[in-house]
Structure 1
Amino acid sequence: MNVRRIAICLGGALALAVCGVTMAQSSASVKKSTKAAPSAAALSLAPATPEQLEAAARVYVGRSDCEFGQHVTVTPHPDHAGYFTVTLASKTWVVKPVLSSTGALRMEDVRGQALYLQIADKSMLMNTALGYRVADNCVHPKHREAMATHQRESIGIAAN
Protein backbone atom coordinates (compact mmCIF):
# COMPACT_ATOMS: atom_id res chain seq x y z
CA MET A 1 0.00 0.00 0.00
CA ASN A 2 2.84 2.42 0.69
CA VAL A 3 4.22 1.85 -2.79
CA ARG A 4 0.84 2.72 -4.26
CA ARG A 5 0.64 5.97 -2.23
CA ILE A 6 4.14 6.91 -3.29
CA ALA A 7 3.22 6.29 -6.95
CA ILE A 8 0.08 8.41 -6.62
CA CYS A 9 2.04 11.23 -4.95
CA LEU A 10 4.77 11.09 -7.58
CA GLY A 11 2.15 11.07 -10.34
CA GLY A 12 0.45 14.07 -8.77
CA ALA A 13 3.75 15.90 -8.40
CA LEU A 14 4.58 15.15 -12.04
CA ALA A 15 1.17 16.46 -13.13
CA LEU A 16 1.67 19.66 -11.11
CA ALA A 17 5.12 20.14 -12.62
CA VAL A 18 3.73 19.73 -16.15
CA CYS A 19 0.89 22.15 -15.37
CA GLY A 20 3.38 24.65 -13.95
CA VAL A 21 5.51 24.51 -17.11
CA THR A 22 2.41 24.84 -19.31
CA MET A 23 1.14 27.81 -17.26
CA ALA A 24 4.55 29.49 -17.43
CA GLN A 25 4.62 29.06 -21.21
CA SER A 26 1.06 30.44 -21.48
CA SER A 27 1.98 33.37 -19.26
CA ALA A 28 5.01 34.13 -21.44
CA SER A 29 2.88 34.08 -24.59
CA VAL A 30 0.33 36.42 -22.96
CA LYS A 31 3.12 38.80 -21.99
CA LYS A 32 4.36 38.76 -25.57
CA SER A 33 0.88 39.48 -26.93
CA THR A 34 0.23 42.37 -24.53
CA LYS A 35 3.42 44.26 -25.29
CA ALA A 36 3.06 47.98 -25.88
CA ALA A 37 1.99 49.18 -29.29
CA PRO A 38 4.71 50.17 -31.78
CA SER A 39 6.90 53.09 -30.82
CA ALA A 40 6.05 56.64 -31.83
CA ALA A 41 8.74 56.52 -34.52
CA ALA A 42 7.07 53.44 -36.08
CA LEU A 43 3.68 55.17 -36.45
CA SER A 44 2.44 56.11 -39.86
CA LEU A 45 1.19 59.68 -39.41
CA ALA A 46 -0.55 61.77 -42.05
CA PRO A 47 1.09 65.09 -42.89
CA ALA A 48 -0.25 67.91 -40.73
CA THR A 49 -3.02 70.05 -42.22
CA PRO A 50 -2.86 73.88 -42.07
CA GLU A 51 -5.49 73.78 -39.28
CA GLN A 52 -3.39 71.30 -37.33
CA LEU A 53 -0.29 73.48 -37.72
CA GLU A 54 -2.29 76.49 -36.50
CA ALA A 55 -3.38 74.50 -33.44
CA ALA A 56 0.20 73.28 -32.92
CA ALA A 57 1.37 76.88 -32.58
CA ARG A 58 -0.85 77.21 -29.47
CA VAL A 59 0.40 74.10 -27.65
CA TYR A 60 2.16 74.74 -24.34
CA VAL A 61 5.39 72.79 -24.75
CA GLY A 62 7.30 71.64 -21.69
CA ARG A 63 6.42 70.47 -18.22
CA SER A 64 3.09 71.08 -16.52
CA ASP A 65 2.76 70.32 -12.81
CA CYS A 66 -0.42 68.45 -11.91
CA GLU A 67 -2.25 67.52 -8.73
CA PHE A 68 -0.99 64.66 -6.54
CA GLY A 69 2.64 65.39 -7.45
CA GLN A 70 2.26 64.27 -11.06
CA HIS A 71 3.59 66.12 -14.07
CA VAL A 72 2.91 65.94 -17.79
CA THR A 73 5.53 66.83 -20.38
CA VAL A 74 4.62 67.88 -23.92
CA THR A 75 7.33 67.85 -26.59
CA PRO A 76 7.20 68.33 -30.36
CA HIS A 77 7.37 65.02 -32.21
CA PRO A 78 10.92 64.71 -33.58
CA ASP A 79 9.88 63.32 -36.97
CA HIS A 80 6.41 64.74 -37.68
CA ALA A 81 5.69 68.47 -37.72
CA GLY A 82 2.37 69.34 -36.10
CA TYR A 83 2.41 66.30 -33.79
CA PHE A 84 3.54 66.08 -30.17
CA THR A 85 4.33 63.50 -27.53
CA VAL A 86 2.61 63.71 -24.16
CA THR A 87 4.38 61.90 -21.33
CA LEU A 88 3.08 61.04 -17.85
CA ALA A 89 5.42 58.90 -15.73
CA SER A 90 6.47 56.05 -18.03
CA LYS A 91 3.56 56.38 -20.49
CA THR A 92 3.85 58.32 -23.74
CA TRP A 93 1.18 59.16 -26.31
CA VAL A 94 1.58 60.69 -29.77
CA VAL A 95 -1.04 63.39 -30.14
CA LYS A 96 -2.50 65.60 -32.84
CA PRO A 97 -3.60 69.11 -31.77
CA VAL A 98 -7.11 70.22 -32.74
CA LEU A 99 -8.74 73.58 -31.96
CA SER A 100 -12.30 73.34 -30.67
CA SER A 101 -15.11 75.82 -31.13
CA THR A 102 -14.96 76.61 -27.38
CA GLY A 103 -11.35 77.76 -27.53
CA ALA A 104 -10.01 74.64 -25.84
CA LEU A 105 -7.06 72.91 -27.46
CA ARG A 106 -7.58 69.18 -27.80
CA MET A 107 -4.50 67.02 -28.21
CA GLU A 108 -5.93 63.75 -29.45
CA ASP A 109 -3.96 60.50 -29.15
CA VAL A 110 -3.51 59.06 -32.63
CA ARG A 111 -4.39 55.61 -31.22
CA GLY A 112 -7.60 56.88 -29.60
CA GLN A 113 -6.60 56.01 -26.03
CA ALA A 114 -5.96 59.44 -24.51
CA LEU A 115 -6.82 63.12 -24.79
CA TYR A 116 -4.79 66.01 -23.38
CA LEU A 117 -7.09 69.00 -23.04
CA GLN A 118 -5.56 72.48 -22.66
CA ILE A 119 -7.86 75.28 -21.50
CA ALA A 120 -7.15 78.81 -20.28
CA ASP A 121 -6.01 78.06 -16.75
CA LYS A 122 -5.18 74.33 -16.68
CA SER A 123 -4.81 71.15 -18.67
CA MET A 124 -5.95 67.61 -18.01
CA LEU A 125 -5.10 64.18 -19.38
CA MET A 126 -8.02 61.85 -20.02
CA ASN A 127 -8.10 58.12 -20.68
CA THR A 128 -10.70 58.12 -23.44
CA ALA A 129 -10.81 54.33 -23.68
CA LEU A 130 -11.91 53.96 -20.04
CA GLY A 131 -13.50 57.40 -19.57
CA TYR A 132 -11.62 58.91 -16.63
CA ARG A 133 -9.05 61.60 -15.83
CA VAL A 134 -5.48 60.36 -15.53
CA ALA A 135 -4.03 63.73 -14.49
CA ASP A 136 -5.91 66.92 -13.64
CA ASN A 137 -5.18 70.51 -12.75
CA CYS A 138 -1.96 70.46 -14.79
CA VAL A 139 -0.51 73.96 -14.81
CA HIS A 140 2.15 75.13 -17.26
CA PRO A 141 4.14 78.35 -16.68
CA LYS A 142 2.03 80.00 -19.42
CA HIS A 143 -1.11 79.05 -17.48
CA ARG A 144 0.38 80.76 -14.41
CA GLU A 145 1.10 83.90 -16.47
CA ALA A 146 -2.48 83.95 -17.74
CA MET A 147 -3.89 83.46 -14.23
CA ALA A 148 -1.69 86.26 -12.86
CA THR A 149 -2.99 88.58 -15.58
CA HIS A 150 -6.59 87.63 -14.78
CA GLN A 151 -6.05 88.25 -11.08
CA ARG A 152 -4.80 91.77 -11.79
CA GLU A 153 -7.76 92.56 -14.01
CA SER A 154 -10.87 93.61 -12.15
CA ILE A 155 -14.29 92.44 -13.23
CA GLY A 156 -15.98 95.07 -11.11
CA ILE A 157 -16.29 93.17 -7.85
CA ALA A 158 -14.49 94.75 -4.91
CA ALA A 159 -12.74 92.44 -2.45
CA ASN A 160 -13.59 92.90 1.24
Structure 2
Amino acid sequence: MSFQRFAISLVGALTLAASGAVLAQQQQPAPAKKTAQAPRPPAATAPAAPMKLAAASPEQLEAATRVYVGRSDCEFGQHVTVTPHPEHPGYFNITLAGKTWVVKPMVSSTGALRMEDVRGQALYLQIADKSMLMNTALGYRVADNCVHPKHREAMATHKRESIGIAAN
Protein backbone atom coordinates (compact mmCIF):
# COMPACT_ATOMS: atom_id res chain seq x y z
CA MET A 1 0.00 0.00 0.00
CA SER A 2 2.81 2.38 0.71
CA PHE A 3 4.02 2.28 -2.90
CA GLN A 4 0.49 2.92 -4.21
CA ARG A 5 0.07 5.97 -1.99
CA PHE A 6 3.44 7.30 -3.16
CA ALA A 7 2.47 6.78 -6.83
CA ILE A 8 -0.92 8.46 -6.36
CA SER A 9 0.59 11.45 -4.55
CA LEU A 10 3.30 11.79 -7.25
CA VAL A 11 0.70 11.76 -10.03
CA GLY A 12 -1.42 14.26 -8.09
CA ALA A 13 1.56 16.60 -7.56
CA LEU A 14 2.52 16.47 -11.25
CA THR A 15 -1.07 17.15 -12.31
CA LEU A 16 -1.32 20.09 -9.94
CA ALA A 17 1.98 21.56 -11.20
CA ALA A 18 0.93 21.19 -14.83
CA SER A 19 -2.47 22.83 -14.22
CA GLY A 20 -0.76 25.71 -12.40
CA ALA A 21 1.54 26.32 -15.37
CA VAL A 22 -1.40 26.31 -17.79
CA LEU A 23 -3.33 28.72 -15.55
CA ALA A 24 -0.33 31.05 -15.33
CA GLN A 25 -0.02 31.10 -19.13
CA GLN A 26 -3.71 31.91 -19.55
CA GLN A 27 -3.52 34.81 -17.10
CA GLN A 28 -0.63 36.56 -18.87
CA PRO A 29 -1.76 39.61 -20.83
CA ALA A 30 -1.60 39.39 -24.61
CA PRO A 31 1.39 41.20 -26.10
CA ALA A 32 0.59 44.71 -27.20
CA LYS A 33 0.17 45.28 -30.90
CA LYS A 34 3.10 47.02 -32.48
CA THR A 35 2.27 50.35 -33.98
CA ALA A 36 4.30 52.14 -36.58
CA GLN A 37 6.50 54.69 -34.88
CA ALA A 38 8.68 57.32 -36.40
CA PRO A 39 12.33 56.29 -36.26
CA ARG A 40 14.19 57.82 -33.38
CA PRO A 41 17.05 60.14 -34.16
CA PRO A 42 20.42 58.70 -33.24
CA ALA A 43 21.40 59.43 -29.68
CA ALA A 44 23.81 62.27 -29.33
CA THR A 45 27.20 61.03 -28.26
CA ALA A 46 29.49 63.02 -26.07
CA PRO A 47 32.67 64.12 -27.79
CA ALA A 48 35.57 61.79 -27.10
CA ALA A 49 37.84 62.90 -24.33
CA PRO A 50 41.22 64.10 -25.55
CA MET A 51 43.62 61.21 -25.75
CA LYS A 52 46.47 61.29 -23.26
CA LEU A 53 49.60 59.77 -24.75
CA ALA A 54 53.09 59.50 -23.36
CA ALA A 55 55.69 61.72 -24.96
CA ALA A 56 57.43 59.92 -27.81
CA SER A 57 60.77 58.34 -26.97
CA PRO A 58 63.85 59.04 -29.11
CA GLU A 59 63.50 55.55 -30.66
CA GLN A 60 59.86 56.27 -31.49
CA LEU A 61 60.73 59.62 -33.06
CA GLU A 62 63.43 57.96 -35.15
CA ALA A 63 60.99 55.25 -36.26
CA ALA A 64 58.46 57.97 -37.16
CA THR A 65 60.85 59.26 -39.84
CA ARG A 66 60.48 55.90 -41.66
CA VAL A 67 56.67 55.89 -41.79
CA TYR A 68 55.16 56.13 -45.28
CA VAL A 69 52.59 58.91 -44.84
CA GLY A 70 49.63 59.09 -47.20
CA ARG A 71 47.40 56.61 -49.00
CA SER A 72 48.35 52.98 -49.63
CA ASP A 73 46.19 50.92 -51.99
CA CYS A 74 45.37 47.44 -50.68
CA GLU A 75 43.74 44.24 -51.90
CA PHE A 76 40.03 44.12 -52.66
CA GLY A 77 39.81 47.83 -53.44
CA GLN A 78 40.61 48.91 -49.89
CA HIS A 79 42.98 51.71 -48.99
CA VAL A 80 44.72 52.71 -45.78
CA THR A 81 45.64 56.31 -45.03
CA VAL A 82 48.44 57.18 -42.62
CA THR A 83 48.62 60.74 -41.28
CA PRO A 84 50.71 62.29 -38.51
CA HIS A 85 48.72 62.75 -35.30
CA PRO A 86 47.89 66.47 -35.10
CA GLU A 87 48.53 66.80 -31.37
CA HIS A 88 51.15 64.17 -30.53
CA PRO A 89 54.49 64.20 -32.38
CA GLY A 90 55.75 60.68 -33.08
CA TYR A 91 52.22 59.20 -33.28
CA PHE A 92 50.09 58.59 -36.36
CA ASN A 93 46.45 58.05 -37.29
CA ILE A 94 45.70 55.08 -39.52
CA THR A 95 42.32 55.13 -41.25
CA LEU A 96 40.54 52.31 -43.08
CA ALA A 97 36.88 52.47 -44.13
CA GLY A 98 35.99 55.21 -41.65
CA LYS A 99 37.72 53.53 -38.68
CA THR A 100 40.77 55.29 -37.22
CA TRP A 101 43.46 53.95 -34.93
CA VAL A 102 46.14 55.99 -33.15
CA VAL A 103 49.43 54.17 -33.51
CA LYS A 104 52.95 54.35 -32.14
CA PRO A 105 55.75 53.41 -34.57
CA MET A 106 58.64 51.19 -33.50
CA VAL A 107 61.36 49.49 -35.53
CA SER A 108 61.41 45.74 -34.90
CA SER A 109 64.50 43.54 -34.65
CA THR A 110 63.81 42.30 -38.21
CA GLY A 111 63.78 45.82 -39.66
CA ALA A 112 60.02 45.88 -40.17
CA LEU A 113 58.26 49.00 -38.96
CA ARG A 114 55.57 48.13 -36.40
CA MET A 115 52.87 50.71 -35.78
CA GLU A 116 51.05 49.53 -32.68
CA ASP A 117 47.58 50.80 -31.80
CA VAL A 118 47.72 52.55 -28.42
CA ARG A 119 44.53 50.70 -27.41
CA GLY A 120 45.93 47.28 -28.36
CA GLN A 121 43.38 46.52 -31.08
CA ALA A 122 45.41 46.87 -34.27
CA LEU A 123 48.90 46.59 -35.69
CA TYR A 124 50.11 48.09 -38.98
CA LEU A 125 53.24 46.44 -40.35
CA GLN A 126 55.32 48.22 -42.96
CA ILE A 127 57.97 46.14 -44.75
CA ALA A 128 60.03 46.76 -47.87
CA ASP A 129 57.41 45.92 -50.50
CA LYS A 130 54.03 46.21 -48.74
CA SER A 131 52.17 46.92 -45.53
CA MET A 132 49.31 45.16 -43.76
CA LEU A 133 46.80 46.04 -41.06
CA MET A 134 46.11 43.37 -38.44
CA ASN A 135 43.32 43.10 -35.89
CA THR A 136 45.37 41.96 -32.91
CA ALA A 137 42.35 41.42 -30.68
CA LEU A 138 40.83 38.83 -33.05
CA GLY A 139 44.04 37.71 -34.79
CA TYR A 140 43.35 38.31 -38.47
CA ARG A 141 44.38 40.61 -41.33
CA VAL A 142 42.04 43.53 -41.93
CA ALA A 143 43.90 44.82 -45.01
CA ASP A 144 46.78 43.18 -46.83
CA ASN A 145 49.14 43.94 -49.68
CA CYS A 146 48.86 47.68 -49.05
CA VAL A 147 51.26 49.44 -51.41
CA HIS A 148 52.35 53.05 -50.99
CA PRO A 149 54.05 54.99 -53.82
CA LYS A 150 57.34 54.65 -51.88
CA HIS A 151 56.89 50.86 -51.91
CA ARG A 152 56.53 51.01 -55.70
CA GLU A 153 59.68 53.12 -55.99
CA ALA A 154 61.66 50.72 -53.81
CA MET A 155 60.50 47.69 -55.80
CA ALA A 156 61.35 49.38 -59.10
CA THR A 157 64.89 50.31 -58.04
CA HIS A 158 65.90 47.02 -56.43
CA LYS A 159 66.45 43.76 -58.21
CA ARG A 160 64.50 41.21 -56.29
CA GLU A 161 65.66 37.65 -56.07
CA SER A 162 63.09 34.89 -55.99
CA ILE A 163 63.27 34.30 -52.22
CA GLY A 164 65.89 36.83 -51.15
CA ILE A 165 68.77 34.40 -50.68
CA ALA A 166 71.93 35.02 -52.66
CA ALA A 167 73.51 32.04 -54.45
CA ASN A 168 77.03 31.04 -53.36
Q: TM-score range by the shorter chain?
A: 0.7 to 0.9
The answer on 1:127 being equivalent to 2:135 is yes
Query: Which entry has the higher C-alpha Rg, 1 or 2?
Result: 2
Aligned partner of 1:111 in structure 2 is 119
Query: TM-score by structure 1 length?
Result: 0.73
Aligned residue among 80, 84, 88 for 2:88:
80
Alignment of 1:44-55 (within 5 A): 44-55=52-63
Gaps of at least 5 residues in structure 2 are 1-25, 35-41
Identical aligned pairs, as a percentage? 78
Alignment of 1:60-79 (within 5 A): 60-79=68-87
Aligned partner of 2:109 in structure 1 is 101
User: Secondary structure of 1:125's partner?
Assistant: strand
Consecutive aligned runs of 4 or more in structure 1 exceeding 3 Å deviation? none
Task: State the AA in 2 paired with 1:13.
Answer: P
The one-character-per-residue Cα deviations of 1:90-133 (angstroms, maximum 9, x if unpaired) are: 10000000100100000000000000000000000000000000
Query: TM-score by structure 2 length?
Result: 0.70
Aligned residue among 20, 29, 32 for 1:11:
29
What is the distance in 2 between the residues matched to 1:49 and 1:109? 16
Aligned partner of 2:97 in structure 1 is 89
User: Secondary structure of 1:51's partner?
Assistant: helix
What is the distance in 2 between the residues matched to 1:42 and 1:85? 14
Gaps of at least 5 residues in structure 1 are 1-7, 18-30
